[in-house]
């Protein structure tokens, strides 16, 4: 009798456990369906980020850099030919006869040097703005850039055409015009600092070239050069910097809260 009771109790227990185990299997199958509609595990964060970045073209930035460099170099070459011709015609700058080329009566090395300097300065301005986190947003349109170029050409023209009692008055006038150009078309601290740095370095290089007899200035009053030459370098740096900034508008910039 005890055996029969134990047998009946064991059968009832096993029979009760069987539906429970079956229901668990059905629930598990319902929760994890098999087939094409089953959800796939999420990819790791690094893998998703790498997949998202696959659409970007790694060579596009270098292609844009080369294009901007060529545009700035061409601008520097053309501007050097035109402005240097004006200085030579007014006998402000004197080159030896053996280095004068036939094209625009300019020394052969002036256009490529000015083109290279324009490319370096034009690429440096937006780079410094991005590094400082202060993107230049004042008058960012080509019409403003063209007006800035016209004012710079006018300042250079005034340095050769205007007649003052002495070079100090001319230098003060050109310094005021150069600061007015920066205030009108730039107004950034980085533009002012880079303009002053460019004027200082370019003046030192010019002093070195004139000292070694590469060319000379008539009536020098600032060591071997004219005292208004740093003003031309400053306004030229601001002008080329605005062109470089305008060309770099398509490049993403770091946001900055005013």
Query: Among 67-76, 77-86, 236-245, whose mean pLDDT is lowest?
Result: 77-86
- Answer yes or no: is pLDDT of 217 > 90: no
> Is the per-residue pLDDT at 236 higher than 80?
yes
Confidence at residue 154, expressed as pLDDT on a 0 to 100 scale? 92
**b/e string for 87-99 if b means 16 or more Cβ within 10 A?**
bbeeebbebeeee
H helices then E strands: how many in the chain?
A: 8, 2
Q: How far apart are CA 227 and CA 193, in angstroms?
A: 20
* Average pLDDT along the chain: 75
Instruction: Provide mean pLDDT across the span 230-256.
Output: 81
Asked if residue 78 has pLDDT above 80, the reply is yes
The pLDDT of residue 59: 63
Can you say how many angstroms the Cα of residue 4 is from the centroid of all Cα atoms in its chain? 94
Length reported for the chain:
258
- Its pTM stands at 0.69
Exposure string of 113-137, with b = 16+ CB inside 10 Å and e = fewer, is bbbebbbbbbbbbbebbbeeebbbe
Q: What is the pLDDT of residues 146-179, one digit of tens each?
A: 999 999 999 988 887 777 777 788 899 999 999 9
Q: How many CA atoms lie within 13 A of 231 on its CB side?
A: 28
Domain limits, the chain: 62-250
What's residue 50's pLDDT?
35
pLDDT attached to residue 258: 39
**Residues 76, 114: contact at Cβ < 8 Å?**
yes
Distance, in Å, from the CA atom of 116 to the CA atom of 120, rounded to the nearest integer, reads: 6
Q: Distance (Å, rounded) from C-alpha 5 to C-alpha 2?
A: 5
């Amino acid at each position: 009798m005890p055996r029969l009771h134990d047998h009946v109790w064991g059968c009832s227990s096993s029979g009760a456990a069987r539906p429970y185990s079956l229901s668990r299997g059905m629930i598990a199958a319902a929760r994890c369906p098999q087939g094409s509609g089953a959800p796939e595990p999420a990819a790791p964060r690094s893998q998703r980020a790498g997949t998202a970045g696959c659409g970007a073209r790694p060579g596009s930035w270098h292609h844009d850099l080369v294009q901007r460099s060529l545009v700035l170099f061409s601008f520097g070459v053309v501007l050097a030919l035109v402005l240097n011709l004006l200085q030579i015609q007014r006998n402000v700058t004197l080159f030896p006869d053996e280095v004068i080329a036939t094209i625009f009566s300019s020394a052969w090395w002036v256009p490529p040097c000015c083109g290279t300097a324009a490319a370096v300065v034009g690429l440096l301005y937006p780079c410094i703005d991005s590094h400082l986190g202060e993107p230049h947003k004042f008058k960012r349109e080509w019409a403003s850039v063209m007006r800035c170029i016209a004012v710079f050409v006018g300042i250079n023209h005034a340095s050769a055409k205007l007649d003052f009692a002495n070079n100090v008055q001319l230098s003060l006038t050109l310094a005021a015009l150069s600061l007015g150009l920066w205030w009108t078309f730039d107004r950034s601290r980085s533009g002012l600092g880079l303009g002053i740095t460019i004027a200082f370095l370019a003046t030192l290089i010019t002093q070195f070239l004139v000292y070694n007899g590469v060319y000379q200035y008539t009536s020098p009053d600032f060591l071997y050069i004219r005292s208004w030459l740093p003003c031309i370098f400053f306004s030229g740096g601001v002008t080329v910097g605005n062109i470089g900034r305008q060309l770099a508008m398509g490049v993403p910039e770091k946001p900055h809260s005013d």
